Amino acid sequence: ALKRLGYSDDEVAGILVHIEKHDTIEDVTDPETGKRVHSGLKPEHLAVFDCAFQPNLGSRSLHYRGHLRMMAAAQPFLSGAISKTVNMPESATVEDIMNTYIEAWQLGLKAVAIYRDGSKRSAPLATKKSSEKSATTPATEELAERIASLIRENESLRKQGEMRIRKPMPDTRMSLTHKFEIAGHEGYLT
């Protein structure tokens, strides 16, 4: 990606050294010297490298609504649901999670899996040490009320006939087949 953005080999090497040393592609303040250390990445290119979770020394991350929008762009072309987890920060509240499910439903997504950073005792993508984690209090009654309201709204829409009806694909249809090769192995994508 760095080469496609126009960085030279030396610039790419410098940025990679910065990432290895500081665990982020963002500019950081060196804890030993107090000086600002620049990664070499232009500010306008930062968004290209945003990740699901904020790095320990960084301040940026891909907003969880970006996951929903990406799935919503693909969903109309799929007959089934998309298997993609929406990664939410530890600071996400019960209301944020509830609104994520509502937004997913409004966007026409058929299924949504949510992972809130720090919600499990051990997780493959934990971004903080356990001593840094804070306790939260869930607002379960509000969530239950909102879910019941959405169920009623969904039933009302079904009765009105506004619900999309699945149209099965024909048994025989036109398609394009693309041949590809990866590490000496051929494959075909139809």
pLDDT in tens, 144-153: 788 888 888 8
* Among the listed residues 65, 61, 153, the one whose alpha carbon sits nearest the alpha carbon of residue 109: 65
Tell whether the model's pLDDT for residue 99 goes beyond 90.
yes
CA 102 to chain CA mean position, Å: 17
Rounded Cα gap, residues 155 and 160, in angstroms: 9
pLDDT in tens, 83-92: 888 888 888 8
Decide: helix, strand or coil at residue 56: coil
Tell me the two tokens of residue 154: 């969904």
For the whole model, what pTM was predicted?
0.47
Domain chopping of the chain, boundaries: 1-61, 64-127+137-160
Is the Cβ–Cβ distance between 100 and 70 less than 8 Å?
A: no
Instruction: Give how far Cα 122 sits from Cα of 41, 53, 115, 125, Å.
Output: 33, 16, 12, 9
Tell me the two tokens of residue 70: 């990406």
Q: Give the mean model confidence (pLDDT) for residues 43-53.
A: 82
